[in-house]
Amino acid sequence: MTAVEGNAVDIPTADGTADAYLAHPADGDAHPAVLFYMDAFGLRPQLRAMADRLAGAGYTVLVPNVFYRHGRAPVVGLPEFIDAGSRPQIFQHLGPLMKALTPDRAMRDADAWLRWLADSALVADGPVGVTGYCMGAALALRTAGTFPDRVAAAAGFHGGHLATEGPESPHLVAGDVTAELYFGHADADPGLPPEEQERLEAALTGAGVRHRCEVYAGAHHGYTQADTSAYDPEATERHWEALLGLLRRTL
């Protein structure tokens, strides 16, 4: 694994300034970029550690605080370990933040993230990869469909609400996607019931998108997050294998 450097960075957006974490190989060279979308719990040590691991595989990784309009990370105070009992109280605070991040705002921000990466001396020329977790999976899919000329790969893990019946459902961008996609669904995830999984698969297949959707048997929503009670080490390693394979093929 390559030695990495990680730093806090600020990114100008159309609506202000977003704080973010940037991880990259410590060789000072330009590497392919990966935009890393956080879960609802936000930019914290767990996500920085994941970004570092991804950077160690040879990528320049940007993890923006997508809730920056409400403050710098941590926007909501979190315990060191998030168990099932603490989730309801945390989501009382997170719910309004998630609702305020409309698709229009999220994609206005995505343009800022992608432009910042394109201007960075640490990023190699060419398209980027995107990965997202929980709510970030929807952002990854939407970014791939909104910026098809810039995104070559997008992955989502234990994502929720990817293919709803609503008029702004993320799966509706399928016809605009040119990237290769991968989704690792959590088993029996209330945020992505079987009918949504089927709707997502049908939309991607119908649009001719190169993709693979897999259900991780026995894994709970949030299975990649080691600072939560949902963490599943075996499913997490499977996720790394799938993600790194996707990036190797496309970047």
Q: What are phi and psi of 197, to 5 degrees?
A: -60, -45
32: Cβ contacts below 8 Å, ≥ 6 apart: 58, 59, 60, 123, 124, 126, 128, 129, 247, 251
What confidence category does residue 55 fall into, taking pLDDT thresholds of 50, 70 and 90? very high
CATH value at residue 153: 3.40.50.1820
Q: What is the pLDDT of residues 56-87, one digit of tens each?
A: 999 999 999 999 999 999 999 999 999 999 99
Q: What is the pLDDT of residues 128-148, one digit of tens each?
A: 999 999 999 999 999 999 999
The tokens describing 99, both together, are: 């609702």
Whether the predicted model's global pTM rises above the 0.85 cut: yes
Beta bridge partners, 157, equal: 133, 184
Cα 39 from chain centroid? Answer: 7
Terminal CA-CA length for the chain: 18
Domain extent for 35 = 4-250
Using the Cα atoms of residue 71, residue 77, residue 82 and residue 84 in order, give the sign of their dihedral: negative
120: Cβ contacts below 8 Å, ≥ 6 apart: 33, 60
Domain tally, the chain: 1
**DSSP codes of every residue in 152-172:** EEEEEES--SSS-SSTT-GGG
